[in-house]
Amino acid sequence: MENEFQITAEPRSGLGTAMTRRLRRAGRVPAIIYGGEQANSVVTLDHNNIYHHLKREAFHSHVLTLEVGDRSEQVILRDVQMHPYKQQVMHLDFLRVSADRKLRMTVPLHFLGEETAPGVKQSGGVVSHVMPEVEIECLAKDLPEFIAVDISGLEIDQSLHLSDLILPSGVTIPALAFGHDHDLPVVAINPPRKQEAEPGEAEPGAAPAATDDENA
């Protein structure tokens, strides 16, 4: 993985609503680290730093290094709580990962070849991103930043399903283990949308409307 994220956190001793409000006013974000064989840890992070990290797609699909005091933890971001209308991070959940235990993550799909696909370039079709992300299972070392989906060969009315995705080594899609019914479509090229006629404009091929003189 090209992107590496190292975040500094501080242990948090105080709990409760009043404490979390004071932390947020001081520019800190409360967070919890859970999972593995260790007890849950409550920490805080710098708001501005974590807010900018969250804007990066890779931050949501990478193993992160969380520095807490004199120890380092390997984690993934499991949940983000944002303020309903302010640009403010309210709380974060981090899940510990281990080198020998598979994890499940949702990673984005990057669609390639849209402009050159025959269904678009030659037939004027419209690309429909049915599934913008996919849940995968793999070891932490095999976790991809995204899955590339090449649609450059698709004709109109054709689609790609989960089973058509080319996955990196060590990566699987858990949904496919449940049978054909779970092999869902990921992307499709649909026929061009029909343009609606302007008010008073006849549809192509329609007979012209009769005039008052003709009705007389």
Kindly state the helix (H) or strand (E) to which residue 44 belongs, with its residue range.
strand 41-46
Give the mean pLDDT of 35-39: 87
Whether residue 166 is predicted with pLDDT greater than 90 in this model: the reply is yes
Question: What pTM did the predictor assign?
Answer: 0.79
User: Nearest-CA neighbor of 133 among 108, 112, 104, 151?
Assistant: 108
User: Nearest-CA neighbor of 144 among 49, 45, 58?
Assistant: 58
Amino acid at 81: Q
Task: Place 4 in a pLDDT band, splitting at 50, 70 and 90.
Answer: confident
- Measured CA to CA, the distance from residue 166 to residue 147 in angstroms comes to 8
Task: Specify the pLDDT at position 205.
Answer: 52
Beta strands 185-190 and 126-129: pairing type? antiparallel
Whether residue 202 is predicted with pLDDT greater than 80 in this model: the reply is no
Mean pLDDT for all residues in the chain: 89
- Measured CA to CA, the distance from residue 129 to residue 79 in angstroms comes to 24
Q: List Cβ neighbours of 70 (8 Å cut-off, separation of 6 or more).
A: none
Q: Which residue has the tokens 């303020």?
A: 83
- Measured CA to CA, the distance from residue 82 to residue 91 in angstroms comes to 7
